[in-house]
Amino acid sequence: MLHKVKTLVDEYDRTVSDDANMLEDQPNKVFVLTNYDGTDLGEFRRNMALYRAVKVTDNGGVDTLDTTPDVTASNQHLERIRRDIYAFGRGVDTRNERLTGATSGQALKFEYAQLDLDCNGLETNLQAAFQELLWFVKAHLANTGKGSFENATAQIVCNRDIIINEESAIAMCASSAGLISEETVLANHPWVDDPQEELKRLRAQRRAEEHRYGADYGGEDGGDEA
């Protein structure tokens, strides 16, 4: 993937370097001397530094020319290159205005679509690499007499993190309750990392509430007290 953006990155670095050199080398202003009463420019600079004054003859004067460089076109060029780097590199431009504010979940998925495609390819390569590594581990254990693991299997899971609109995701989970299983709702809830563990907590919480309800209204078995 680097070869697709290398020339753009090189151009970005070259432009930044040229701008830095220009800003460093170019003076803030140029003095225009008329009928200067001195011998050389070195003397003029010393007088300006020491006395903040300069001697001129009749009808003489000192003017200045503003030499502040205009880097507007350069900045626009850099911004265009930066956007192209993200586009061709299938990255996510965090400075994109579409990622600010209350962005919907679908808009976020669209922004991360290209990066997700790259992750799919990376995950496939990782799965294949770990399968080859597993074969070598089995062969090593068998050769060292530590037992046969020929039928041993391993599940390789790649977890991905992505920015989402939590408010929208939670609202969708709440509206889906009763339409799909509770485990599926929890699996898609942004605050739940382990749906199975969360289910255990919910069931324990419900049993505790039922126990407390039964104790408050006539005993633990729900019957009336004598």
Domain boundaries, the chain: 109-163, 166-216
β strands within the chain, DSSP E = 29-36, 56-66
Of the two residues 82 and 221, the one the predictor is more confident about is 82
Model pLDDT, residue 83? 81
What's the average model confidence in pLDDT over 194-216? Answer: 86
Integer Cα distance of 28 and 56 in angstroms:
23
Of the two residues 115 and 77, the one the predictor is more confident about is 77
Integer Cα distance of 74 and 16 in angstroms:
9
Q: What is the pTM of this model?
A: 0.41
Integer Cα distance of 123 and 114 in angstroms:
14
Residues 6+ apart with CB under 8 A from 108: 99, 162, 163, 164, 165
Instruction: Give 139-154 pLDDT, tens digit per residue.
Output: 888 888 777 777 777 8
56-61-62 Cα angle (round to 5): 110
Do residues 30 and 67 make contact, with C-beta atoms less than 8 angstroms apart?
yes
The amino acid at 8: L
Run of H or E including 174: helix 166-176
In the predicted model, is pLDDT for residue 125 greater than 70?
Answer: yes
β strands within 1-94, DSSP E = 29-36, 56-66
Integer Cα distance of 76 and 57 in angstroms:
47
15-19, 63-67, 173-177, 221-225: range with lowest mean pLDDT = 221-225
